[in-house]
């Protein structure tokens, strides 16, 4: 997996107000934890965080301002605001390169343009968009690819069907549904019930009057 150098600043204050102030400066609040070491609160450039996302990089070298040593870390969690397309918070976990880690890896779908099932009107339905794996940090994949080009309507892929790189063990249950191609929804025109004009329905008073005659 591609490794990337990320620089961060130490921050002393925490809380919502402090986080808002940090974001207004083009920074993303974060925290570094793991290996039984005291957590460190950080601020990272939004550009660097976006670079992590674009490159699908989880294995990183973190350089904290004012510290001589660099740390090997993975991105453990990243919170986003989907409406504003901005980052709210990022979590880094310290790692050792000779110890296995668990992480969630995104599923990358390919072959949509030529998919048999989609071309015949099927609809792609996702059961999950990432899978949990365990491996050494150097073996951690940026994504797991799923090719749906030959899938037809009714076909599905489960975790046990995924092609997993060597050295990587899947933790997610094998029977969990990853994706499926379902038939297109059929529009059923609602049945029109003809309304009887009010004039044709005798009122209670009219009915009683007819009985008295």
Residue ending a domain, among 73, 95, 117, is 95
pLDDT at 193: 61
pLDDT at 205: 47
pLDDT at 211: 42
Q: Residue 128 belongs to what domain range? A: 103-182
**Residues of the chain scoring pLDDT < 70:** 1-2, 187-188, 192-213
The number of domains in the chain is: 2
pLDDT at 194: 60
**Residues 70 and 114 grouped into a single domain:** no
100 Cβ neighbours under 8 A, 6+ residues apart: 134, 135, 136
The CATH number assigned to the domain holding 48 equals 2.40.240.10
pLDDT at 196: 52
| DSSP letter assigned to residue 89 | E
| In a domain? residue 14 | yes
**Residues 52 and 114 grouped into a single domain:** no
pLDDT at 200: 54
């Amino acid at each position: 997996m591609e490794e990337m150098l990320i620089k961060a600043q130490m921050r002393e204050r925490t809380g919502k107000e402090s986080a808002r102030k940090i974001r207004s400066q083009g920074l993303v609040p974060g925290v570094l934890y793991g290996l039984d070491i005291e957590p460190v609160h950080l601020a990272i450039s939004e550009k660097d965080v976006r670079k992590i996302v674009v490159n699908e990089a989880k294995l990183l070298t973190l350089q904290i301002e004012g510290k001589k040593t660099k740390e090997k870390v993975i991105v453990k969690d990243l919170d986003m605001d989907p409406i504003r397309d901005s980052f709210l918070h990022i979590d880094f976990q310290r790692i050792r390169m000779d110890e296995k880690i668990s992480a969630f890896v995104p599923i990358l779908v390919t072959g949509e343009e030529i998919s048999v099932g989609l071309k015949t009107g099927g609809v792609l339905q996702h059961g999950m968009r990432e899978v949990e794996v365990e491996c050494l940090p150097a073996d951690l994949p940026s994504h797991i690819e799923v090719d749906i080009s030959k899938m037809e309507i009714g076909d599905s892929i489960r975790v046990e069907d995924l092609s997993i790189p060597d050295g990587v063990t899947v933790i997610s249950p094998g029977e969990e549904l990853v994706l499926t191609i379902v038939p297109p929804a059929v529009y059923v025109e609602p049945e029109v019930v003809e309304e009887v004009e009010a004039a044709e329905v005798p009122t209670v008073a009219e009915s009683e009057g007819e009985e008295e005659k």
